[in-house]
Amino acid sequence: MTPHDPAEARSKARHRIEAAVVDLMAETYGQQAIATRPIFPGALSHDRVADPLPGLWAAKLLAALARAEIGRQARHAREAGHTWHEIGQALELPDDDHRALSEAAFEYLTEAGYGDPSFTWRCPDLACGQLILDYGPYNGHPDDCERGHATACERHGRELAAWHDERED
């Protein structure tokens, strides 16, 4: 799924971010941190602009929170049953010969730390409702890819059945 007009979406997002920086500054530093300036030299209309140094702080905070929002959306996508490949497509990650798109998506969403990277989401209540540690799309046994499902989880049961089917063909 891609926007109807990517350039327009980008332009709208840019305006919202600029406005969010100014609003955040006004709310945390007060109106004295906001100046106005003509939208172009000699124009009667004015833009609200942030003082640049606190503006840097506000922009960095918004960037960090936007990055966290990617993780939240990905968690919802996994909970809804979307694959790592679909998440990679939605993120428009490069699909190269060296690495599957699904693996690129998993690695984009997890940070290397101690031990094997994992991504956490909650299995829907209609399935088993358990917190799942997702070890990524590396084609292992479903019990190794996703740990935490209840024994009777129907969603995980379907994945196990599909895994066995693939090996019988």
Residue 149 is a binding residue for Zn ion (CB under 5 A): yes
Interface with Zn ion by CB under 5 A: which range of 15-23, 32-40, 81-89, 141-149?
141-149
State the nearest-atom distance from the C-beta of 125 to Zn ion, in Å.
10
Burial of 31 (0-12, 13-18, 19+ CB in 10 A): exposed
Q: Which is nearer to Zn ion, 10 or 158 (CB)?
A: 158
**Structure tokens of 94?**
């490069």
Determine if 145 is a binding residue for Zn ion (CB under 5 A): no
Question: Over the range 138-152, which residues count as b (16 or more CB within 10 Å of their CB) and which as e?
Answer: eeeebeebbebbeee
Which residue is it, tokens 């109807």? 4
Could you give the CA distance from residue 19 to residue 34 in angstroms, rounded to a whole number? 11
In terms of CB distance, is 78 or 149 closer to Zn ion?
Answer: 149
Closest contact distance (angstroms) between CB of 87 and Zn ion is: 18
Residue selected from 74, 123, 137, 145 as contacting Zn ion according to rule CB under 5 A: 123
In the complex with Zn ion, the residue whose CB is nearer, 48 or 75, is 75
- Of 56, 55, 36, nearest to 47 by C-alpha is 36
d(CA 54, CA 121): 35
Q: By CB under 5 A, tell whether 128 contacts Zn ion.
A: yes
127 in contact with Zn ion (CB under 5 A): yes
Q: Which residues bind Zn ion (CB under 5 A)?
A: 123, 127-128, 149, 153, 155-156
